[in-house]
Amino acid sequence: MERRILPRLGAVCGILYVVLILVGDSVTVGLPLVGDSVTVGLPMELAGMILFVPFLGYLWSVLRQAEGEGGWLSATAFGAGLMGITIKFASIAPVLAVNNMEEGTPLYRSMELMNGASFNLSMFPFAVLAAAVSMVTLKTRVLPAWIGWIGAVTVPALLVNAMFFYAEFIPAFLLFLLWVILLSAVLTWRAGSAHVETSTSISPEPARVR
């Protein structure tokens, strides 16, 4: 039982990441970078970002098993995902830095732009993550092919959107979140199946006496 529960915990963290990010962001919409946005929305987003790490760990284990010895795309996916979530995590620092700052000042605006630019920059490594997962999926079919194709479509969308460093409209990131939640759902459904022993205990044929 434990061998099934632990993998599912890692797999479902992807869904929790998306839910907490979206709910936390909806709370902070329309709020300045100070006050209620810090005390209400940010803790939820931070929790989601932290949960993305165990999701990456489980995803790496699945891809690594499919690639076999010498595979490097699974490690690329893990490293890129970790880099992306680290950039997003660091983008919260400007928000905390202006917590006691008056809104509308030049420094406040600079911190606000820094927060937005860091968020957009995180889409570059997320594109690498989606590309690596898609390549392993389409090559080994460790996951449904449609997961790979949706990821393949997500990659150029993320790259194009990321080029607009200060853009506030980020449809590519919403597509990435949709892909993550679908990927997490599939992994959660299949979690543990790779760890179930399928071999039956068949006693070896007794040696024949010559």
Query: Of 156, 192, 189, which is closest to residue 175 (Cα–Cα)?
Result: 156
201 assigned to some structural domain: no
202 assigned to some structural domain: no
pTM (2 d.p.): 0.81
92 assigned to some structural domain: yes
25 assigned to some structural domain: yes
Query: Of 113, 130, 110, 115, which is closest to residue 173 (Cα–Cα)?
Result: 130
40 assigned to some structural domain: yes
210 assigned to some structural domain: no
Domain that holds residue 172: 2-193
The domain tally of the chain equals 1
204 assigned to some structural domain: no
Query: Of 119, 103, 181, which is closest to residue 147 (Cα–Cα)?
Result: 181
Taking only the tens of pLDDT, the chain with its 210 residues reads 556 788 899 999 999 999 999 888 776 655 555 554 555 678 888 899 999 999 999 999 999 999 988 889 999 999 999 999 999 888 777 777 666 666 667 766 777 667 777 888 899 999 999 999 999 999 999 999 999 999 999 999 999 998 886 666 788 999 999 999 999 999 999 886 654 333 333 334 444 433
126 assigned to some structural domain: yes
